[in-house]
Amino acid sequence: MYFKRIKTPGLAHNAYLLGDKHDAVIVDPRRDVDEYLKLARENDLVIKYILETHRQEDFVIGSKEIAEKTGAKIVSLDHPLFGHSDIRLEHGERLRAGSLSFVALHTPGHTPESTCYAVFLRDVPDRAWGVFTGDTLFIGETGRTDLADPKRTREHAGMLFDAVHDKLLPLGDQALLWPAHGSGSVCGGNIADRDESTLGLERAYNPVFTKTRGAFMDAKLRERIPRPPYFTLMEKLNLEGGTPLATPPLAVPLLPPKKFASEHKQGIVLDGRDPEAFAGGHVPGSYNVWLEGMAIFGGWLANRTTPVYLVLDDLNQLETAVLALARLGVDNIQGVLAGGFEAWRDAGQPFDHLATIAPRELVDARTSHVVLDVRDDMEFEDEGHIVDARHLYVGYLDDHLGRIASGIDRKAAIAVVCSVGHRAGLAASILRRKGYQNVKNLLGGMTAWTRLELPTTKGTEHSVTTPDIEGKRA
């Protein structure tokens, strides 16, 4: 027996390779598939089936490419949103690989086609060994229920609640839980920061089990997780089983400073350095998307055709950055700055600075600063924020800044705050591109602010929330 959880950093995505007697299944593979194929080969496994739990919204899947390279069959529920699959199972139908059997369970709520696969061992045919839960049931949380239709968020939450109780809970407390995402995913809220759990453990503390049906539905309605714009592209690509990588990382051109300077204005520059380094000096007009943030925010700033130019601390980071963007369908990577910002500086190219400010400095200068909080709705409202701060999630700044910018002069001092400074660095770079000249990143963010026991408040005052952007929910 072989079992391997394969994580995708940044996306907080889990794929799984499970094999027995040379037959293997891969569950929810991402777009860049070489790691899966290598693992299968090294362990003398033949990938026979590719199991899909749902269409996936936050990354391009690799089902079609694995099928083409291995001859494996794509397996799904018999539902229109799995239009590309080879084997279409009805709810309760069984599939075998080696001594393992997989039972498809239709668990709508996160999305209409969401499917879980209960896994049974030949020696214990009446008790589930584990269950691949996709985005239906996470560790400590469930999937968001607003994606199919924000106006039906509460209704879908009720469907998810029923599916978990009626179809997963009967599998037994011993069943291991294998979800498609972990902590940090945009597909769920407060997912626990660990990988191991059972249905029995979840029954003791997961809100879908500890809350009543009505209370659970109300909680999901209040969740309000931003919906990244690349979700729409993911849904389109994944309806066809995904698409192969367009540009391998090694094919991205290295551009010396002079050539980078002449070409980068054709598109956008994503600077993958940490906010402190970006503040010290950066290519004018660039976005500060720290390396780990590329896997989410790269897709807020660029689409499939946007020409993208990269600035990185080290060329060893190029593969990480390119793959993070490719998983979001951002394929048009035109080049990376050879030698990084140090080479740009040494070549005498122009560069900009970004101011920073410490919490106690901001306290002393509070009356002369506008504070802009760019965390998500729940962080701003429930964890507390600086008194009189304006609020707009960082992902919405480019398109919706006007909703909170009333009365703010472009020369006004603006202190941007998030949890520690990464999202604030991105937000500050967006504001600079829009002509705001005196922008400062509050380094340490609300983490440092609260540790210093500086004053905070809670609530929605001066906030533009996700429902305000996306339309009022039912």
pLDDT for residue 9:
87
Residue 243 falls within a domain, yes or no?
no
Q: Answer yes or no: is 244 within a domain.
A: no
Q: Are residues 209 and 77 in the same domain?
A: yes
Write the CB contacts of 426 (distance below 8 Å, at least 6 apart in sequence).
287, 288, 289, 290, 293, 297, 374, 394
CATH of the domain at 324: 3.40.250.10
Asked if 213 and 114 sit in the same domain, the reply is yes
* Claim to verify: residue 123 and residue 43 sit in the same structural domain: yes
**Shared-domain flag, residues 158 and 266:** no
Cβ pair 328, 235 in contact under 8 A: no
Q: Token pair for residue 408?
A: 């703010």
Q: What's the CA gap between 464 and 400, in Å, rounded? A: 9
Query: Is residue 42 in some structural domain?
Result: yes
Residue carrying structure tokens 């498609």: 180
Q: Are 143 and 153 in contact (CB under 8 A)?
A: no
Query: How far is residue 174's CA from residue 164's CA, in Å, rounded to a whole number?
Result: 15
Q: Is the domain of 188 the same as that of 317?
A: no
**CA–CA dist 91, 258 (Å, integer):** 60
Is there a domain that residue 197 lies in? yes
pLDDT at position 471 is 64
Q: How many domains does the chain have?
A: 3
Instruction: Name the strands in the sheet holding 13-20, side by side, starting at the edge strand that comes first in the sequence.
Output: 2-8, 13-20, 23-27, 46-51, 73-77, 87-89
Counting DSSP H helices and E strands in the chain, the numbers are 18, 24
Six-digit token string for 112:
């209409």
Strands (E), 282-388: 287-288, 308-311, 333-337, 355-357, 369-373
**In whole angstroms, what is the distance from residue 181 CA to residue 12 CA?**
5
Please indicate, yes or no, whether residues 219 and 274 belong to a single structural domain of this protein: no
313 secondary structure, DSSP code: S
Instruction: Pick the last residue of a domain from 214, 238, 262.
Output: 238
Q: Are 283 and 360 found together in one domain?
A: no
Residue 276 is predicted with a pLDDT of: 96
Shared domain for 177 and 54, answered yes or no, is yes
Can you give the residue range of the structural domain that contains 78?
A: 2-238
Helix (H/G/I), strand (E/B), else coil: 400:
helix
Q: Which two tokens stand for residue 81?
A: 């949103």
Which residues of the chain are modeled with pLDDT < 70?
471-474
In a shared domain, residues 40 and 113: yes
Burial class (CB in 10 A: 0-12, 13-18, 19+), 216: buried
